[in-house]
Structures are given as C-alpha cells and as structure tokens.
Amino acid sequence: MEPTTRLRARTREFLSGHDPATTDRLDFLRARFDAGLAWVHFPPGLGGLGAARSEQAAVDEELAAAGAPDNDPRRIGIGLGMAAPTILRHGTEEQRQRFLRPLWTGEEVWCQLFSEPGAGSDLAALATRAVRDGDHWVVDGQKVWTSIAHAARWAILLARTDPDLPKHQGISYFVCDMTDPGVEVRPLRQITGEAEFNEVFLTGVRIPDAHRIGAVGEGWRIAQTTLNNERVAIGGQATPREGGMIGVLADVWRERPELRTHELHQRLLKGWVDAEVLRLTGERLRQQLAVGQPGPEGAAMKLAFARLAQELSGLELELLGEDGLVYQDWAMTRPEVVDFTGRDAGYRYLRAKGNSIEGGSSEILRNVIAERVLGLPAEPRTDKDLPWKELRR
C-alpha cells in the first residue's frame, strides 16, 4: 500500500473514533496530535509519524472533508512556523514533550523576542542580557515589534550571555514565560490605528536553565533555524491561483468596469503574472522543504512577497480612485490575526508597508540572497571580530 493511501486509511480510522460533530474541539485536537496526524513528518510521540512532509496534504484533505476543526493556524503562526521547528531540531526531549503538544493545539500561544530598539536589522547587536544565577538566568532588556505578545504564554528569546565575545557569539536562546514577574507588554500603535505589535520590557526575569534551547553561546546558530522557517512561513504559504492580494484586485477589476484604463490593465496583468510566478516558486520551495530543512531560499520568497503585496495594494488604491481613500475601521484595537482580504483597500495599503520590515527587512534579505544564494562577496564587516562590549552603539 502506498504511503499516502496508508495515511488516508489511518486518518479515516481516527475519524471513526473521534467524530468531529460530537467531540469537543480541544479534545479532538489533542487526540489528533497523539495519533500522529498533526505534523506527519515529526517523530512519533511528537505529533507525527516520521512520514514525508508532503503526505500532510492527504491527512488534511480527509479531515477537512469530515468537517474537523483546525487549530486556528493564523493565530498560532509564530508557534507553528518558528518555535516548533526550532524546538524539534535543537531542544531536549523534555522540552519537546512539554511544549509541542499545547503549541500545536493552540492552548499556548507563542511570540518572538528577537528585535530590539538598537538591534533590529542588525539582530546580532542585541543588548538584552542574561546572567547566570545558579539554576536560573536573570534577564534584563527590551524587545520591540513583538507580534501577539499581549496574548502569548511563551516566547522564544535571544539574549546576550557573554559580552566579551564578538556579537555573533556570546548569544544564547531561551524560552521565556510571558506570565513571569518582570515581563511587561506595552502596545505599539501602527499606521493602521491598530496595535498588533508590542514592545516588551524584561526586568529581572528569572528563566530556568532547563528552558535554554541548545548550548550556552549557540543562540545565533540556533536562531538561523528560526529565521529561515519564519521567512518561509511569511512568504512561502500555499495559496490557490488568484489567492491573496491579486485575487482581491482581480475581483475589483471585474466588478467595477468603469474604473478601467489601458495603463491600469497592463499593470494588473503584470501583477497577475508576478503573483503566479511567486505561487509556483512557493510550490517548488515547499517540495524542497519536504526533503530537508529550509535554507536561505526562503529569504527570496519573503522579499518577493513583500514587494508584490505593496505593489498590488497600491494599484488597488489607484484603481478605486477616491473610493480607495476610505478607511472605515481605523481604530485602536489589539488584533491577534492580521486580515488582509477581509478589510478595505485603505487598510491593505497601510498594512502592506510593514511587509518589508517584519520577518527580516528587505535590505537585509538582499544581503542574505547575495551572499548565501548567489555566492557573491560579502560586505565588509569591520566589527565581526570585536568583543560586543567594545562596539559603538
């Protein structure tokens, strides 16, 4: 029997004992995880079956056809796309057993404490300190642009543990309990009027050494796993033809013929082709992921996604004319999920500006592509070997 056929049969057997219509949503998700049908490519006992990543589609099709609930993946995207692959690859068995199940079921939301006011694009320059105190680390510092921190229970955290080493060394990777004393979350109001991002202040936060991921000083290497997965999660999501922004724009074009001009038509066609190229490139990238870990190619997907989202949202405003200036939902709220397609054109145009910053700025991603994909000479880095404490800040 083919692997896909076996997985479909296993999923149907699971459904026969867990009817989505009569089983509590959380109980169903927990049982699905325990049955290995959450991430089929994860090891047995950790939500998977050790199968190929590509086999997940067959499981998802069977569950969707049966009306099974999902785990609200957009709300827990940081946990699914960034924390989980990092914990699986670099965490201890105890950490995997503790964190992965409630992460996948959505019982525990995760956020990312990486960027800082003085270390955004230059992440390795981060200044948040973690000082060893027996079986704990005492953490002090500030993080910024932290999505969904206001709803998160856990955070993946980078902190400096040795200021005498160069900036890419001396960094360690932790899991921080966002409910611990000393963690303060403040909203950051954006150009959209909302506050989906936050700044987080850490004052004397005590983190058990058991919540350190990987060896002391290995944080930068481990963070590459997180960042590569983040860029794939942002730019490499599976979308149908005419999905996302291009679908919204195409619907406006069809519904409002009085808005059409030859020049806008040409730009729409170019946007449609670019969106299709991006979609097909994403399919190829996901096929590569099925046989290995994500690499720097994800940077190219994220870069292209940001550029296209901004171009298409701008074109939508031009197509709508004065109607595109209407933004009815401008209000101070703290959303947990970003909704591009369910909002008006004004929101999409403003929110797309953040696409070239979040998940790695476009300028930095161009360096990653040049050096790690194209093999071009690296930019001169005069501070590469200097101890962090001697760097100008």
Query: CA–CA distance from 325 to each of 112, 157, 240, 318, 330 (Å)?
Result: 33, 39, 28, 10, 12
Query: What is the maximal distance between C-alpha atoms in the chain?
Result: 71
Quick one: tokens of 33? 């995880």
In terms of Cα–Cα distance, which of 85, 60, 62, 61 is closest to 16?
Answer: 62
Spatial distance between the Cα atoms of 334 and 14, rounded to a whole number of angstroms: 37
Buried b (16+ CB within 10 A) or exposed e, 20-46: eeebeeeebbbbbbebbbbbbbbeebb
Cα–Cα dist 231/392, whole Å: 29
Catalytic residue among 194, 196, 199, 230: 230
Residue 16, H or E segment: helix 3-17
Does residue 390 have an active-site annotation? no
Chain Cα centroid distance, residue 282: 15
What angle separates helix 297-320 from helix 245-255, to the nearest 10 degrees?
20
The amino acid at 308 = L
- Catalytic residues, by residue number, are 230
